[in-house]
Amino acid sequence: MESKSAEVIMNYHIGETVLSLQKTTLIPGGSESLVYTTLSGGIGILVPFTSHEDHDFFQHLGMHMRSEFPPLCGRDHLSFRSYYFPVKNVIDGDLCEQFNSMDPHKQKSVAEELDRTPPEVSKKLEDIRTRYAF
């Protein structure tokens, strides 16, 4: 008898029970993404990166945001997202989006670590947002 198994390509703890998962395109001509809804009414989206450069940029931005923007309840971002299994191949977009909410001094500090200016970082966030959703 032939053994069948699935390959785990990503792990990410959403923090809620997912009720539906749909592969779809949200804007005409846009790339496909996975949209999910949760038991408490949350809606989320998982989008693939189209370039290695974007992946590296957002991975580093997420790393800097974890250190510069501590969680409100004291629990580390990475330990929460790795609740059942370690995070694998997923970048927390909600965490990256908080860049625009930081005070300008911290924005400048994080942007310099990424060899960018704060407006360039904000533009990259806007570009990834409009590429898939709105």
Question: DSSP class of residue 85?
Answer: S
Tens of pLDDT, residue by residue over 26-41, are 888 878 889 999 999 9
Residue among 104, 103, 112, 100 nearest 60 (CA): 112
What's residue 134's pLDDT?
A: 63
Q: Is the Cβ–Cβ distance between 103 and 110 less than 8 Å?
A: no
Residue among 114, 117, 123, 127 nearest 50 (CA): 127
What's residue 82's pLDDT?
A: 77
pLDDT-derived band at 1, boundaries 50, 70, 90: low
Tens of pLDDT, residue by residue over 104-134, are 999 999 999 999 999 999 999 999 888 877 6
pLDDT-derived band at 17, boundaries 50, 70, 90: very high
pTM above 0.75, yes or no: yes
Q: State the average pLDDT over residues 72-97.
A: 82
**How high does pLDDT run on average in the chain?**
87
Rounded CA-CA distance 75/78 in Å is: 9
Beta bridge partners of 18: 38
